[in-house]
Structure 1
Amino acid sequence: MSSPAGARPLPLPREQECPFGPAPEIAELREHSPVVRVACPTGIDAWLVTRYADVREVLADSERFSSRSGMGGHLLANQPPDAPVEEGDFHRMDGQEYLRFRRVMAPAITTVKRTELFRPVVQRTVDELLDELAAESGPVDLHARFANPLTSSVIAELLDIPHADRDLFGDLARALFDGTTDVDDLDSVRLPLFGYLYELVAGRIREPGDDVISVMAAKSQASERPFTELELTKVAAGMLAAGFDTTAASITHGLLALLRHPDQYALLRDDPDLAPGAADEILRLLSGGSGLLRVATVDTEIAGTPIAAGDYVVAAAQAANHDPARFADPGRLDLTRASSAHLGFGHGPHQCPGMHVARLELAAVLATVPRRIPSLRLAVPFAEIEYREDTSVYGPLGLPVTWDEIQPA
């Protein structure tokens, strides 16, 4: 689909200008042109939707706005939205086909009850990583030394991936969310990983344990239409990629926001019980990036704007999370705000299946880091923080910090 004359460029986050919010022009678009035609970096054109109520409507209605385009084809060359939906591409399915996958994933990783089983693993990993840092004096890169190892260790432990094999999954995550990686480049990383996971999945089907892959395999085998090994492999790969990169980026970006707002950091230091609500506020403020892609299945409309069948739609979740009609003074970080209605994990049928684990990890960090490192501070001027570019996962490239002392667990 070519870009029509007059289509404006898709507004991408410019974090050097707005480190904790969407692109500056989003506010004007939301007020005056809430549904507007845009030209996307991958060459497609789409309708950009920026108001909270409209974004929520698009994400909730998979009959009118299908996920078969994939979520990132407006940003990532390796995810062409018109590519065929292949076996196991659950994130590009709708209706009963998607529910077949969701029903198997939910008992393994989505339910609150299951997530609570992961809490000790997460807390132990947080404390062990801080214990390692306690033997040092800063400055250190808290992304490389804490956020990234935390999320990679947790997801690998939940899937029972041997420590020696974990670099393979980091390579996939970096390639998958890099806007400069094309399909062939991605396949060079993905195919070795799929080969590894395929053997792992087959082993868990034969000899199940209590890890996430085994639970999914057992649930699938008991269903009317069991997963093939390839389908289960793709589910595991998707969980690994998301767990390795997106959650780490949220933790790093969230800690930067707190260090920029020391009064909010002090709230957590003094009252760690604020952490679960604080996690949602940070996700509201920071998550969503340039939005989630959908494709219209029928002629329809959004907020009175006609949308033709086949048109692409970008549901701008971060713009929605900064909509003053839904969140008062939305650019302000307020850890006491009721933010649970944010769209940082999406909304509707395709709401992130790993959201409870991601929220658990972020909350554990927020409850522990300010208490154990009350003197944590940036080791460079704020203006020198560098941010990711050409990606669908935003946030700082690194987080140089220092401290006076790390308290014992």
Structure 2
Amino acid sequence: MSSTISARPLPVPREDLCPFGPAPEVAELRSESPVVRVTCPTGIDAWLVTRYAEAREVMGDPRRFSNRSGQAGHMLANMPPDQPVEEGDFSKMDGPEHVRFRRVFAPAISTVKRIEEFRPMVQRTADELLDGLAAEGGPIDLHEQFSKPLTTSVIAELLGVPYADRAIFHRVADALFSGKSDVDDLDALKFPLFSYVGDLVRARRVEPGEDAMSVLVTRGQQQEQPFTDLELTKMAAGLLVAGYDTTASMITYGTLALLQDRPQFDRLAADPSLAANAGEELVRMLGVGAGLMRVATVDTEIAGQPIAAGEFVVVAIQAANHDPARFDEPERLDIGRETSGQIGFGHGPHQCAGQQIARLELTTALATLPRRVPSLRLAVPFAEIEFKADTTVYGPVALPVTWDEILPA
């Protein structure tokens, strides 16, 4: 059905042209060809969905559009969509299998009670990092000296993992989100990570604590179908790896967007209560520029375009979040905007399992940085900022900043 339709290259972010929005051609596609055939960087052909309504339709209907392909095989060679779903691969499961994992995840990292328990620790970590920078003085790379240490410290403390052991999951995260690493590269790094986390899981079985990994292990043992060590290991390892890089990059990228729109940064410095909404607005503007992949389980259609069972669909999250039919003046950063409905954390049953932790970290950073460092500014011209390439996690490679004074906590 679709093999006769010529495919165009998948539009990926072009920060040189649109630093805080989707690729320039996306607006035309959204209005004229909302479902179009594309060839992806890994060689996969897929249907690209660019409008908000259809994006929610695809992600909200796992019976028609399964997650078993994985979410990033269109961009990452280390996630081939035809790879079998193995024990513990919860991110590629649908239906009751997937729900079984979410029920164990939720009490460990997602409930309002747990998030409120974590909040003082996240705030303390952010303040300690800024205290250290105040003593050191600028200029510094905000990504390496604030964003990454913040998210790494938080996820390590949540799971009861020593911060000193962070290199083992940093290496996997770097390989996981890189378009240059293949399955063998990733497997070689995952084996030592799984061995390390597996030891922690077994230790928590014997002597559980209050950390999130202990909750995962304890809840996993109490299920009607108890979780195996491998299932628990993959859950905890997934949190360690995904929880550090994606959120750190969003903190850095969001700070850059605010520094380029100084009235918004100053507004946040004057009123930190806007931080939570500012976080949602930045995720709307900047999030998931590479899109998320699904595979059709049945012959169906999207916006009148026939889709055959077995064909891949890429949901252009950022394009959907910039759909003017859903958000007025979507290219404009407005930290006071009504952001409900933004899908930067996904939508439907497969939305990001760690989104509440990510929100807490992002909100804390946005409430703290502008308030304590109101004179924060770029240390180099904007044109010299280098952006990541060959990845699914976009943002600056580094963010050189300086300031006049860091105020006390």
TM-score band, normalised by shorter chain? over 0.9
Separation in 2, partners of 1:17, 1:283: 19
8 A contact 1:3–1:39 mirrored in 2: no
Identity of aligned residues (%): 66
2:165 corresponds to: 165
Matched letter for residue 181 of structure 1: S
> Helix, strand or coil for the counterpart of 2:106?
helix
Give 3-state SS (helix, strand or coil) of 1:227's partner.
Answer: coil
Q: CA deviation at 1:5?
A: 5.9
1:177 aligns with 2:177: yes
CA distance in 1, matches of 2:329, 2:45: 31
Which amino acid in the other structure matches residue 140 of structure 2?
A: V
Report if the CA contact (8 A) 1:142-1:252 is conserved. yes
- The alpha carbon displacement at 1:142 in A equals 0.3
Residue 61 of structure 1 corresponds to 61
Whether the aligned pair in 1 keeps the contact of 2:288 and 2:392 (CA below 8 Å) is no
Equivalent residue for 1:191?
191
Retained in 2: the 8 A contact 1:3–1:43?
no
* Paired residue secondary structure (2:133): helix
- Letter of the 2:15 partner, please give it: E
- What do residues 300-341 of structure 1 show as CA deviations (whole Å, max 9, x unaligned)? 000111000000000111000000000000000000101131
Shift of 1:163: 2.2
Code of the aligned partner of 2:75:
L
CA contact (8 A) 1:288 1:343 kept: no
**In structure 2, distance between residues paired with 1:210 and 1:52:** 40
Q: 1 CA distance for matches of 2:14 and 2:277?
A: 27
Q: Does 1:224 align with 2:224?
A: yes
Aligned to 1:213: 213
Tell me the amino acid that sits aligned with residue 61 of structure 1: D
Matched, 1:274 2:274: yes
| Residue pairs, 1:122-141, within 5 angstroms | 122-141=122-141
Superposition deviation, residue 3 in structure 1:
7.3
- 1:242 and 1:34 map into 2 onto residues whose CA distance is 30
Q: For each residue in 1:174-204, what CA deviation from the matched residue of structure 2 results, as whole angstroms up to 9, or x when unmatched?
A: 0000000001111111111111111111111
* Residue 118 in structure 1 maps to residue 110 in structure 2: no
Offset from partner CA, 1:222-259 (integer Å, 9 cap, x none): 11001100000001111111111000000000000000
Pairing of 1:369-384 with structure 2 (within 5 A) = 369-384=369-384
Q: Deviations over 1:349-402 (max 9, x none)?
A: 011011011011111111111110010000000011000000010000010000
Q: Distance in 2 between matches of 1:149 and 1:233?
A: 23
Tell whether the 8 Å contact from 2:296 to 2:312 is kept in structure 1 after alignment.
Answer: yes
**Mapped partners of 2:91, 2:230: distance in 1:** 14
What is the CA–CA distance in structure 2 between the aligned matches of 1:394 and 1:111, rounded to whole Å? Answer: 28
Aligned residue number for residue 327 of structure 2: 327
Matched to 2:296, the amino acid is: A
**Following TM superposition, by how much is the alpha carbon of 1:290 offset from its aligned partner in structure 2, in angstroms?**
1.5
Secondary structure of the 1:342 match is coil
Q: Distance in 2 between matches of 1:82 and 1:183?
A: 12
Give the TM-score taking structure 2 as reference length. 0.99
Shift of 1:4: 5.8
1:354 counterpart = 2:346: no
RMSD over aligned Cα, in angstroms?
Answer: 1.0
1:150 corresponds to 2:125: no
Alignment of 1:334-345 (within 5 A): 334-345=334-345
Q: String of CA shifts for 1:128-173, please: whole Å, max 9, x gaps.
A: 0000000122110000000000000000000010122111111111
Question: Are 1:250 and 2:256 counterparts?
Answer: no
2:12 matched to which residue of 1?
Answer: 12
Q: Measure how far apart 1:14 and its partner are.
A: 0.9
TM-score by length of 1: 0.99
Distance in 2 (CA, whole Å) between partners of 1:201 and 1:217 is 7
Kindly provide the amino acid, as one letter, of the partner of residue 177 in structure 2. F
Amino acid at match of 2:224: E
Please tell me whether the aligned partners of residues 79 and 183 of structure 2 are also in contact (alpha carbons under 8 angstroms).
yes
**Does the 8 Å contact 2:54/2:303 carry over to 1?**
yes
Q: CA deviation at 1:116?
A: 1.3
Task: Give the distance between the partners of 2:374 and 2:389, measured in 1 at CA.
Answer: 31
What amino acid sits opposite 1:88 in the alignment?
Answer: G
Matches within 5 A, 1:84-103: 84-103=84-103
Query: Which AA in structure 1 matches 2:79?
Result: Q
Q: Which amino acid aligns with 2:190?
A: R
Q: Distance in 1 between matches of 2:401 and 2:3?
A: 44
Question: Which amino acid counterpart does residue 49 of structure 2 have in structure 1?
Answer: V
Partner of 2:318: 318
C-alpha offsets along residues 90-115 of structure 1, whole Å, 9 cap, x if unaligned?
Answer: 00000000000000001111222211
Report the number of matched residues. 408
Equivalent in the alignment of 2:73: 73
Deviates more, 1:345-354 or 1:109-118: 109-118
Deviating 4+ runs (over 3 angstroms): 2-5
Measure the CA separation in 2 of the matches of 1:148 and 1:162.
Answer: 15
Equivalents in 2 of 1:111, 1:174: separation in Å? 29
Does structure 1 conserve the Cα–Cα contact (< 8 Å) formed by 2:387 and 2:395?
yes
State the distance in 1 between where 2:190 and 2:4 align: 35
Counterpart-to-counterpart distance in 2, 1:113 and 1:64: 35
User: Which structure 2 residue ranges, 5 or more long, are not aligned?
Assistant: none
